[in-house]
A and B are shown apart, each in its own frame.
Chain A
Amino acid sequence: MSQETQPSDIGQYPEGDNLKHFIENRKRGGLVWRVSFQIATILAILALIALLYNIINGAFGYVAIQNKVDPNSLVLAMEENQMLSSSGTVSSEDDNELVDGIEGNPNAIGFFGYAYYNDNRDKLKAISVDGQAPSRETAESGDYPLARPLFIYSAADVMRENPAIGAFVDYYLTNVNSVIEEVGYFPISDDLLNEATTAWSAAAGEQADALQAYTANPAEVSDHDISISGSSTVYPLTRQLAIQFRRAGFQGGLDLQQTGTTAGFRAFCEDMTTGISNASRPINRAEIEACESNKRTPVEFRVGTDALAVVVSSENTFLENVTKDELRQIFTSAETWSEVNPDWPNEPIERFIPGADSGTLDFFAETVFDRQLEALTEPELIEILKANLSTGLLRRFDAEAPLVERSQPELVDLVLERVVEQQVVQSWELTESIFDRAEIEETVAAIPQGELQWRSWLTPAFLVTPQSSTPELAGIRTALFGTLWVIAITILVALPVGVGAAIYLEEYAIMVANPTLRRINAIIQTNINNLAGVPSIIYGILGLAIFVRAIEPITSGMLFGVSDPTTANGRTIISASLTLALLILPLIIINAQEAIRAVPNSLRQAGMGLGATRWQTIWSHVLPSAIPGILTGNILAMSRAIGETAPLVVIGASTFITVDPTGPFSKFTVLPIQIYQWTSRPQAEFRNIAAAAIIVLLILLLTLNASAVLLRNRYSRRLS
């Protein structure tokens, strides 16, 4: 292409095909560069999109929730408490007392283990529940509602590796029916027992014979230990058999715990600390998966049936059958029989129930009161709160809004938040939530009592709750108030000073004749331009040394006797505001200068020509015309101040505040500081709330900037 510039080359300007190539080459070169410029621009836009995507991605998505306290157990405890505390109820751990109370009293009712009723058939009458009379058959089939199966679980590998366990299970199945009635449960039918024995043989496989030999002579496996945990219902049965096994000669370690069925499965499947698990319900899918992921395939052995009998005295003539709902009323709120059913006599109900320590009461409540937390009434919810919270905390909530006046959903929320204490154990981003749904569900299934929930981290509650150390309860209330206070004072200081400086530089400085003053004015102008380029963190250092430290008596409020007693140092809102004011001053001045410069000179001349003084001209002619421009610049400076973080960190903004700032001398935190803090934490949930806080910040800034643009467009061409 150098041909064009050198005159001697003019003659060699390409011709014919060469010219064609030459032109095409130039065209191609132009196109390639044009495309690369466009790609660069697209990259810049992509960066913005990636930034916004990343924030949205963090602020919404699935979370796995785990309850610290099982809500069902809360409901159960509350209902048991109602049963025990209602008038006319006698509660005793001694079943004989219950029998004595009910006997001969036609208005009495009670319940206890079926086996015990069986011993007292002459004095008492067991009634049907939901049309099902209690018997071994109805209990075993599950038709009778107040019955549940009893199991023990082990695994084939466990039994083979630990012959003591293999032998004990065999011993258990062989002898269970001889002790079970003594413990108080229904023995299982021979069919079920055969099934269990077959399952054992299959699991034992080739070792079956060897194990059976040990069953006959347990002493031979004494070099192994047996560890059992699980259901407290099965516990007495297993205990009885363990004692006999020991008597038969077993000398090894025998550890037997009652931890509840769920915890028992956890020990068996996940921690693998036990070889046998007692259970009063069948194992569920998640537990099987947890077992299999540890290469344990659980084998189930049915060992018995537990049933309760609801009993009245033989003299009672009106009760033959009750429904579960009637049972609930009979044992809780109702005072007379006719209240529950008008056909029954108008006589007071006298209740005889087992004490709170027995598993029987739990079982009865679990079966009869099949209610969710969300279905409870307000007084019941308040009862739960009272039973589980400290009086101080209760008083605080009552002071915020009287508990009795709160609505049912509000009370449910309060219980969930304070008693159940739902915790987020894991969170996923938006894209993960959409595309990896199946994987997420699998992960959640493995979390005990885990529950999958869709969550927007940005909620109205997020805006109005103060800071908290648990991310799901944290909010930005204090940060929002801090930002409002800091920015308000910043503008109050910076706007008058900045506009004043701009007026001076534009309206007075250029008229000055004195050479020294002229030079000073020139320095001021250069200086302002230089200050605009100073990194913001330097302002933070300045603020730390001057506002926080040097004039601490003023900025802490001590001089005025209004200091915040909790801090009483210079790290206050006023220090932050003054620092930010200095930071945005150059910005305000430069923008205001431009706005004032844009006012046509004819306006000034007209004003002065009519005899107005310089200030009168400025005040009533120049400023009114310049105000839209000044305000626009001011809003832009304000949004800069709102987003500033570094200088405020340096002057020592507090990072954890739960009380609203009360004035210029309070300690404070602001939105960007909160975002910085949360982003720096390692837990993913803090990143989520950081993203939510960023959205709030960006919306705030966008609103401000949009109003600046509107202002500019609306007033920009009025004078020309």
Chain B
Amino acid sequence: MAVGASSRPEVTSQTDVDIKTQLRKHPRVGETLIETFLFVCGAVSILTTIGIVFVLAKESLLFFTSGGVSLTEFFTGTVWQPAIGKFGIWALMNATFMVTTIAMVVALPLGLAVAIYLSEYASLRVRSILKPVLEVLAGIPTVVYGYFALTLMTPVLREIFGDDVVQIYNTAAAGIVVGILILPLVSSMAEDALSAVPDSLRQAAFGLGATKLETATRIVLPAATSGIAAAFIVAISRAIGETMIVAIAAGAGPNFTFNPFNAAETMTGHIVRISGGDLSYDSIDYNSIFAIGLVLFCITLVLNIISRYVVAHFREEYE
């Protein structure tokens, strides 16, 4: 458009100027209205963010000012028992981190291996079959994974380690299934990063006598590090925010434990359980879910920002 605007004056005659001024002064109400409406649509997302921050901050503030819960208690306590006024977030956070760690142990190596296989080894035909399979896996609702964790993964674990060792609700089963849930996410993001590495690099490596494995692990993988790191961080963020699997399979009671075979409630699981009934407004329980939500929001937001920063600043450019 800038080109058109600047070239026009060169050919102006008297009448053209008239038309131009006419056109310029002619207020296009419709166009302006539409543009405003579209801007508002775009601004809805800003409003959403503001809404989230405002709501979380406001209710959390109420939680800390009214309930006799101090910030230090909240961030250092390991007991979460609203009935006796104990609100130590670590009881919940610890379970969240346990589930996330187990999920990562499952999803990161597997996801990366699948990505390398798909991008470097698999034939076109195999890829055309496998990618939709992974997409299907990614499209299954999390509540279905929750059913899977409770009715298959837990019995399998109990079969292997013994009924007296593994409780019916445990973070191990939930963690493994969360790992399966985010596996397609890791593999597809990592595969995108690997595929983005130009073929000339691979050809150069092959030309120097490198084997396929050497090319994949020493040339392509380092070149795609930033993308893969971003994938890992997004996966962690996703695992921390995952709700239904842990709500169904991890346990229904805050429990500060490092034993993955014991029941323990995560932050998200606690929010779901507490709000499952008819939660009365302005109760300490009601306010507490906003405080937990705020912590959750901050953790995931920071992780997402880091991931975007990693992609933007550590990307290897090859063009």
Contacts and interface: CB of A to CB of B under 8 A. Distances in A.
Contact of B147 (A496, A608, A691): A691
B46 to A, nearest CB: 6
Contacts of B148: 50-51, 54-55
Contacts of A363: none
A267 interface: no
B45 A533 contact: no
Interface in B253-286: 268, 271-272, 275-276, 278-279, 281
Contacts of A644: 141
B304 A533 contact: yes
A501 B293 contact: no
Interface centre among B139, B144, B184, B217 (most CB of A within 10 A): B144
Nearest to A616: B31
Contact of A55 (B1, B55, B144): B144
B152 interface: yes
Contacts of B144: 51, 55, 643, 675, 694, 697-698
B219 interface: no
Contact of A524 (B35, B45, B146, B276): B45
Contact of B244 (A497, A676, A705): A676
Contacts of A26: 211, 214
A47 B143 contact: no
Given A530-B301, A542-B52, A646 B244 contact: yes
B89 interface: no
B51 A542 contact: yes
A41 B1 contact: no
A687 B149 CA distance: 13
A50 B217 CA distance: 31
A305 B95 CA distance: 72
Interface in B95-139: 109-110, 113-114, 116-118, 121-122, 130, 133-137, 139
Contacts of A694: 144, 147
A625 interface: no
A538 B49 CA distance: 11
A643 B268 contact: no
A523 B271 contact: no
Contact of B293 (A524, A541, A585, A679): A541
Given A51-B140, A501-B44, A538 B52 contact: yes
Given A36-B113, A37-B121, A649-B272, A44 B137 contact: yes
A589 B238 CA distance: 20
Interface in B23-66: 28, 30-31, 34-35, 37-46, 48-49, 51-52, 55-56, 59
Contacts of B303: 533
Interface in A664-720: 672, 675-676, 679-680, 687, 690-691, 694, 697-698, 701-702, 705
Interface string B136-174: 110111111111101110000000000000000000000
Contacts of A639: 139
A523 B31 contact: no
A608 B1 CA distance: 9
Nearest to A545: B55
A185 B142 CA distance: 70
Nearest to B118: A41
Interface residues of A, number: 91
Given A530-B305, A694-B147, A33 B37 contact: no
Contacts of B44: 497, 501, 582, 585
B308 interface: yes
Contacts of B136: 48, 702, 705
B56 A541 contact: yes
A546 interface: yes
A37 B275 contact: no
B49 A44 contact: no
Nearest to B212: A30
Interface centre among B118, B151, B297 (most CB of A within 10 A): B151
B141 A697 contact: yes
Nearest to B146: A679
A531 B275 contact: no
A597 interface: no
A676 B139 CA distance: 17
Interface stretch (A176-184, A306-314, A502-510): A502-510
B48 A650 contact: no
A622 B313 CA distance: 34
B91 interface: no
Contact of B49 (A33, A530, A691): A530
Interface in A13-70: 26-27, 29-30, 33-34, 36-41, 43-45, 47-48, 50-51, 54-55, 58
Given A37-B113, A524-B42, A585-B44, A675 B143 contact: yes
A199 interface: no
A527 interface: yes
Given A40-B110, A524-B46, A534-B52, A650 B142 contact: no
Interface centre among B4, B211, B212, B248 (most CB of A within 10 A): B211
B304 A701 contact: no
Contacts of A646: 142, 243-244, 247, 268, 272
Nearest to A684: B151
B209 interface: yes
B296 A529 contact: no
B62 to A, nearest CB: 11
A464 B140 CA distance: 24
Contacts of B238: 533, 535
Nearest to B44: A497
B275 A649 contact: yes
B34 A585 contact: no
A600 interface: no
Contacts of A523: 46
A504 B4 CA distance: 22
A240 interface: no
Interface centre among B1, B34, B44, B146 (most CB of A within 10 A): B44
A538 B297 contact: yes
A120 B55 CA distance: 95
17 contacts: A30-B213, A36-B113, A37-B121, A54-B152, A58-B147, A504-B41, A511-B1, A527-B46, A530-B301, A533-B303, A538-B241, A538-B293, A608-B4, A643-B139, A644-B141, A646-B247, A652-B278
Given A527-B46, A644-B141, A694-B144, 4 more contacts: A500-B42, A508-B35, A549-B281, A646-B243
Interface of B: 1, 4, 28, 30-31, 34-35, 37-46, 48-49, 51-52, 55-56, 59, 109-110, 113-114, 116-118, 121-122, 130, 133-137, 139-148, 150-152, 180, 183-184, 187, 208-209, 211-214, 217, 234, 237-238, 240-244, 247-248, 268, 271-272, 275-276, 278-279, 281, 289-290, 293, 296-297, 300-301, 303-305, 308
| Top 10 closest pairs, chain A to chain B, by CB | A535-B241, A643-B141, A500-B41, A40-B113, A504-B38, A646-B243, A37-B117, A533-B304, A501-B41, A30-B213
